[in-house]
C-alpha cells in the first residue's frame, strides 16, 4: 500500500520505494503539508510546526481565542488566496460578488488502484498494479466552490504526481485567476534552486542560486514552455552534488506558458509553486463546470543529482513515452535543412538519400519548403499541399523512390502557423490570432493559428492527414517557430479571452493525440526552433525533441548537459552538421561532432552528396558504432562526469549498462594548452569489484572510479574520445 491514512491522527502518508510525502487534516479541515523526503512510515510530523502567537499573522475565524493557528505561516498543501496566507498561492478565485477569496477545507478522500488520467491533457501512466491514486476533496462552505487534489503514486519509480480540479459547486458564476498544479512547503530555507534558462540556439543552461527572501520566479508567457526557461526545476541542499545530498525535482507535464515560483517567508520557510502562468490566464466557471490543471511530477532523491536524473529518465521512459517508438530502435536519419535550406528539388533529395544509404543511414527527413509557395520563410505556412513543381513530381513518388533505396521517409510540418501570404490566410484571416484594430506582432513573418478553436485544428488536421493517408511517411518533425503574442480569439466572448492559452494547448494536444493514435507507426519529433518546447507534455506525444537549432558541437555540450538533468538521452534530438558550423562559425573535427550527437538521437544534417571518400569512411564507421551501442546509449544509465561550467579542460560523460558489464565513456577536450596538465576523469556506475578492459589495458572498476582515467594529451582543438569499456569475463 503506497497510500496510508491514519484515521486517528488524520495524517496521509504517501510512500514510494525511497521517498515519502505527508499531509494532515488539521483543525476545521485545514489541509497542512507536513513532509517530503526520505521514506518514513506512518507517523505524525505535525509536531514540527511552531504554534505560537505571531504578530500580524491572522487566524481563521473559528480559532477565536487561539492565536497560535495561522495560515500566514503554517505549511499548506494547496494555498488559497484571500484568506490570510500572503505567500505565493495556488488558487485565486473571483466570486460572483466581486470578492477574491476561496477557503478550501477538507471534506473527504478516495484511494483508487492505478494512476489517474486527465481528460485532454498529457499525464504519466502506470500499470494498475504499479500506480495508486489519492483524491482529496475540499470545499469552500461559503460559495460551494469545490476542489479535488489528485496525487498519483508510482511507488517503484519514486514518482509522485499532482494535479488539481476546481469545480463550481455553487449557484453563481466564478472566475479562476490562478490555478497551480503543485505546492511544496519546506520548514527551512537551507535550499538552492537549480533551473535551466536560455535563448534560441542556447537552451537549458544551468543556473544555481540560493532561494531568497521574497519571491523568485522563472516561467514563460510565450504560449510555449520556451527556450528562455524550462518547466523543470530542482530544489536541493546547498551541499548537494552529483553524488550526494537531498534534492527535489519538479516538472510540469504541460507545454504552454508556465510559472515556477519560490518564496522564502518571514520565518525562513520556503515554498515552491508550479503551474500555468497566471498572467494571461482567467477561466470562467459557470455552476457545475470545472477546470483541470495540468499535471506536475515530483521526484525526491537523497543521493544527489545523478540519482535524481536517473529517476526522471526512467520515469520518462516507463511512464510518459508511448507507442512503438518509445522502445523500438529509432532510425539514424539525414535531415536536409542545413544541407539545402529551402533550395532543393526532388533530384537533389535523391542524391542526398543515395549518399546516405551508402553510409548506413536509414531515413531521409525532408524539412521545410516542400509545400505551398514556400521558397523562403515569408510565405506558404498553412497551405499543406505538396509543391509538385519544386519536387519535380508527387510527394508519394518521392517517398517511393526513397523507399526504393531501402530508406524510410519523413517530413517537416509546422501545423500551428500561418503566413500572411498564404491561401489559408486569404480564405480565413481570422484563423490567425490577431487583436482587432492592432497590427500585432509578427515573428519570422508568421502568425499563430487560433488552436483554441476546434474548427481551426480540424481544418489543418484534415489537410495534413490527407497527405499522411496518401504517402508512406514514417516520421514527422512537428515545428513551432515563434512565440505567441496577439492573444485573441475571434470567437470567444470578451470575458473568456483569458482562456485562450489553455484552450490552445487542449487543441494542440487533441491534434497530437489524433495523430499518434491514427498513425502509431509514425515517429514524431517535436521541435520549436530547436528546443523551445522541450517538456514532459510534448514527450507524451513525441518520444524525441529537436534539442536546439544550434548544432555546434561545443555549444551543444552545455545545452545537452543541462537537458539531461530532467530528460533522457533518448529524447534529445542531436545531429552532426557541417563545419564551419552554420550558427557559430566554429570548426570542430567530424569525430567530435559525432561524439556529441551520439549523446542523443543521432543523425546527420549536412550535404552528404558532396563528401570526400575519407569523410564517407568516417561517417560509415560512426553510424555502425552508434547502432552497435544503441541499447547502451538509450537504455543504459547516463552519467555526467564533468561539467561544462567547471574548471576541467574536458567535458565527459558515460553510459553504463544496467548489468555494469559495458560502458561507453565519451567526452570532448574543450581547451588546448602548451605544456599541459594531466586531465583525469573518474568513471561512475561501474562495479568496483569487476575488471574492465579499456583498449589494450585492463583496470579494476575501483581503479577507474576512484582513481580515474588519464586522458591522452590532445593533438588538435576540440578533440574527443569514445572509449568502449567492457567487463573482462
Do 282 and 530 form a contact (C-beta atoms < 8 A)?
Answer: no
Residue from 219, 530, 568, 685 that binds ligand GLA (CB under 6 A)? 530
Site string for ligand GLA, 285-324 (x = CB under 6 A): ----------------------------------------
| 481 near ligand GLA, judged by CB under 6 A | yes
546 near ligand GLA, judged by CB under 6 A: yes
Contact status: 148 vs ligand GLA (CB under 6 A): no
CB of residue 444 to ligand GLA, shortest distance in Å: 8
Q: Which is nearer to ligand GLA, 86 or 341 (CB)?
A: 341
Using CB under 6 A as the binding rule, whether residue 349 contacts ligand GLA is answered as: no
Min CB(187)–ligand GLA separation in Å: 44
Write phi, then psi, for 105 (nearest 5 degrees). -120, 150
Q: For the residues of 442-499, what is the DSSP string, one character each?
A: -BTTEEEB-TTSHHHHHHHHHHHHHHHHHS---EEEE---S---S---TTS-GGGGGG
Residue 22 vs residues 40, 90, 133, 284, 692: alpha-carbon distances, Å: 9, 18, 15, 32, 44
Our answer to whether residue 628 is catalytic in this structure is: no
Reference 270, options 299, 239, 248; nearest CA is 248
Interface residues for ligand GLA in 373-392 (CB under 6 A)? Answer: 377
535 is catalytic: yes
**Inter-helix orientation angle 613-628/590-597, to 10°:** 20
Q: Establish if 555 lies at the interface with ligand GLA (CB under 6 A).
A: no
Q: Is 572 in the site for ligand GLA (CB under 6 A)?
A: no
Q: How far is the CB of 528 from ligand GLA (least distance, A)?
A: 7
CB of 530 to ligand GLA, least distance (A): 5
Q: Say which of 385, 615, 702, 724 is annotated catalytic.
A: 615
Nearer to ligand GLA, 342 or 723 (CB): 342
Which residue stretch of 393-401, 523-531, 640-648, 659-667 sits at the interface with ligand GLA (rule: CB under 6 A)?
Answer: 523-531
Strand order across the beta sheet in which 3-6 lies: 3-6, 11-15, 19-25, 31-38
Decide: is 140 part of the binding site for ligand GLA (CB under 6 A): no
Name the catalytic one among 139, 155, 368, 535: 535
* Contact call for residue 249 and ligand GLA (CB under 6 A): no
Residues in CB range of 109: below 8 A, 6 or more apart: 5, 12, 134, 135, 136, 137
How far apart are alpha carbons 47 and 662 in whole angstroms?
A: 49
Residue with cell 479571452: 497
Instruction: Write a three-state SS string for 293-348.
Output: CCEEEEEEECEHHHHHHHHHHHHHHHHCCCCHHHCCCCCCEEECHHHHCCCCCHHH
Closest CA to 692 of 667, 655, 661: 661
Binding test (CB under 6 A) with ligand GLA, winner from 474, 479, 499, 591: 479
> Does the footprint of ligand GLA cover residue 565 (CB under 6 A)?
no
- State how far the alpha carbon of 266 is from the alpha carbons of 30, 124, 270, 422, in Å: 21, 36, 10, 56
CB of 109 to ligand GLA, least distance (A): 46
Q: Does 368 bind ligand GLA (CB under 6 A)?
A: yes
Nearest to 18 by CA among 300, 397, 412: 300
CB of 689 to ligand GLA, least distance (A): 46
Site for ligand GLA in 407-466 (CB under 6 A): 412
Query: Least distance in Å: CB of 203 to ligand GLA?
Result: 11
- By CB atoms closer than 10 A (0-12, 13-18, 19+), residue 442 is middle
Nearest residue (beta carbon) to ligand GLA? 368
The residue from 166, 332, 418, 527 that contacts ligand GLA (CB under 6 A) is 527
From 258, 283, 291, 337, residue interacting with ligand GLA (rule: CB under 6 A): 337
Catalytic center residues = 535, 615
State the residues that interact with ligand GLA by CB under 6 A. Answer: 337, 367-368, 377, 412, 479, 481, 527, 529-530, 546, 549
Amino acid at each position: 500500500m503506497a497510500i496510508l491514512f491514519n484515521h486517528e491522527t488524520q495524517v496521509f502518508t504517501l510512500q514510494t520505494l525511497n521517498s515519502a510525502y505527508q499531509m494532515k487534516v488539521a483543525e476545521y479541515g485545514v489541509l497542512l503539508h507536513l513532509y517530503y523526503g526520505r521514506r518514513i512510515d506512518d507517523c505524525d510530523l505535525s509536531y514540527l510546526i511552531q504554534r505560537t502567537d505571531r504578530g500580524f499573522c491572522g487566524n481563521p475565524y473559528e480559532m477565536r481565542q487561539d492565536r497560535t493557528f495561522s495560515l500566514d505561516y503554517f505549511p499548506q498543501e494547496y494555498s488559497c488566496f484571500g484568506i490570510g496566507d500572503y505567500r505565493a498561492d495556488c488558487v485565486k478565485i473571483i466570486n460572483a460578488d466581486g470578492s477574491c477569496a476561496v477557503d478550501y477545507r477538507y471534506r473527504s478522500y478516495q484511494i483508487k488502484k492505478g494512476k489517474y488520467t486527465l481528460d485532454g491533457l498529457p499525464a504519466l501512466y502506470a500499470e494498475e498494479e504499479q500506480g495508486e491514486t489519492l483524491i482529496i476533496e475540499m470545499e469552500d462552505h461559503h460559495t460551494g466552490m469545490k476542489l479535488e487534489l489528485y496525487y498519483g503514486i508510482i511507488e517503484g519509480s519514486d514518482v509522485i504526481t499532482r494535479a488539481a480540479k476546481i469545480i463550481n459547486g455553487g449557484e453563481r458564476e466564478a472566475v479562476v485567476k490562478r490555478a497551480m498544479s503543485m505546492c511544496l512547503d519546506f520548514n527551512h530555507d537551507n535550499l538552492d534552486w537549480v533551473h535551466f534558462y536560455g535563448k534560441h540556439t542556447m537552451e537549458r543552461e544551468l543556473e544555481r542560486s540560493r532561494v531568497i527572501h521574497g519571491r523568485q520566479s522563472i516561467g514563460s508567457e510565450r504560449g510555449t514552455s520556451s527556450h528562455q526557461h524550462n518547466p523543470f526545476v530542482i530544489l536541493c541542499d546547498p551541499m548537494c552534488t552529483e553524488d550526494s545530498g537531498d534534492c527535489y525535482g519538479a516538472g510540469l507535464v504541460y507545454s504552454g506558458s508556465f510559472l515556477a515560483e519560490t518564496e522564502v517567508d518571514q520565518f525562513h520557510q520556503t515554498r515552491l509553486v508550479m503551474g500555468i502562468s497566471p498572467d494571461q490566464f482567467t477561466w470562467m466557471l459557470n455552476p457545475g463546470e470545472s477546470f483541470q490543471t495540468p499535471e506536475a511530477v515530483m521526484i525526491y532523491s537523497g543521493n544527489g543529482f545523478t540519482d535524481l536524473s536517473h529517476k526522471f529518465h526512467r520515469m520518462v521512459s516507463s511512464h510518459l513515452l508511448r507507442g512503438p517508438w518509445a522502445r523500438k530502435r529509432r532510425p539514424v536519419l539525414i535531415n536536409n535543412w542545413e544541407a539545402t535550406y529551402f533550395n532543393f528539388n526532388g533530384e537533389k533529395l535523391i542524391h542526398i538519400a543515395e549518399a546516405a544509404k551508402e553510409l548506413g543511414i536509414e531515413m531521409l527527413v525532408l524539412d521545410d519548403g516542400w509545400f505551398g509557395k514556400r521558397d523562403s520563410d515569408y510565405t506558404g505556412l498553412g497551405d499543406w499541399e505538396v509543391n509538385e513543381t519544386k519536387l519535380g513530381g508527387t510527394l508519394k513518388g518521392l517517398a517511393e523512390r526513397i523507399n526504393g533505396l531501402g530508406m524510410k521517409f519523413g517530413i517537416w510540418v509546422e501545423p500551428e502557423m500561418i503566413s500572411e501570404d498564404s491561401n489559408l490566410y486569404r480564405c480565413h484571416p481570422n484563423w490567425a490570432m490577431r487583436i482587432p484594430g492592432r497590427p500585432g506582432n509578427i515573428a519570422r513573418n508568421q502568425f499563430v493559428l487560433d488552436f483554441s478553436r476546434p474548427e481551426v485544428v480540424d481544418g489543418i488536421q484534415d489537410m495534413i492527414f490527407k497527405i499522411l493517408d496518401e504517402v508512406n511517411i514514417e516520421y514527422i518533425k512537428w515545428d513551432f517557430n515563434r512565440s505567441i503574442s496577439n492573444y485573441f480569439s475571434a470567437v470567444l466572448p470578451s470575458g473568456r479571452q483569458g482562456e485562450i492559452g489553455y484552450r490552445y494547448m487542449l487543441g494542440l494536444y487533441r491534434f497530437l493525440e489524433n495523430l499518434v493514435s491514427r498513425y502509431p507507426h509514425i515517429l514524431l519529433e517535436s521541435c520549436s526552433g530547436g528546443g523551445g518546447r522541450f517538456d514532459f507534455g510534448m514527450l507524451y506525444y513525441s518520444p524525441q525533441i529537436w534539442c536546439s537549432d544550434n548544432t555546434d558541437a561545443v555549444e551543444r555540450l552545455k545545452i545537452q548537459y543541462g537537458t539531461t538533468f530532467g530528460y533522457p538521452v533518448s529524447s534529445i534530438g542531436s545531429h552532426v552538421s557541417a563545419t564551419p558550423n552554420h550558427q557559430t562559425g566554429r570548426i570542430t573535427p567530424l569525430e567530435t561532432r559525432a561524439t556529441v550527437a551520439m549523446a542523443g538521437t543521432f543523425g546527420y544534417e549536412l550535404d552528404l552528396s558532396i563528401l570526400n571518400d575519407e569523410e564517407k569512411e568516417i561517417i560509415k564507421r560512426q553510424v555502425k558504432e552508434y547502432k552497435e551501442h544503441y541499447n547502451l546509449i538509450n537504455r543504459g544509465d547516463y552519467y555526467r562526469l564533468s561539467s561544462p561550467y567547471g574548471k576541467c579542460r574536458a567535458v565527459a560523460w558515460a553510459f553504463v549498462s544496467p548489468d555494469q558489464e559495458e560502458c561507453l565513456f565519451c567526452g570532448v577536450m574543450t581547451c588546448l594548452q602548451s605544456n599541459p596538465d594531466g586531465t583525469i576523469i573518474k568513471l561512475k556506475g561501474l562495479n568496483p569489484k569487476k575488471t574492465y578492459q579499456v583498449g589494450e589495458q585492463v583496470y579494476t572498476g575501483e581503479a577507474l572510479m576512484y582513481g580515474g582515467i588519464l586522458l591522452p594529451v590532445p593533438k588538435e582543438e576540440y578533440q574527443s574520445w569514445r572509449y568502449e569499456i567492457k567487463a573482462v569475463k
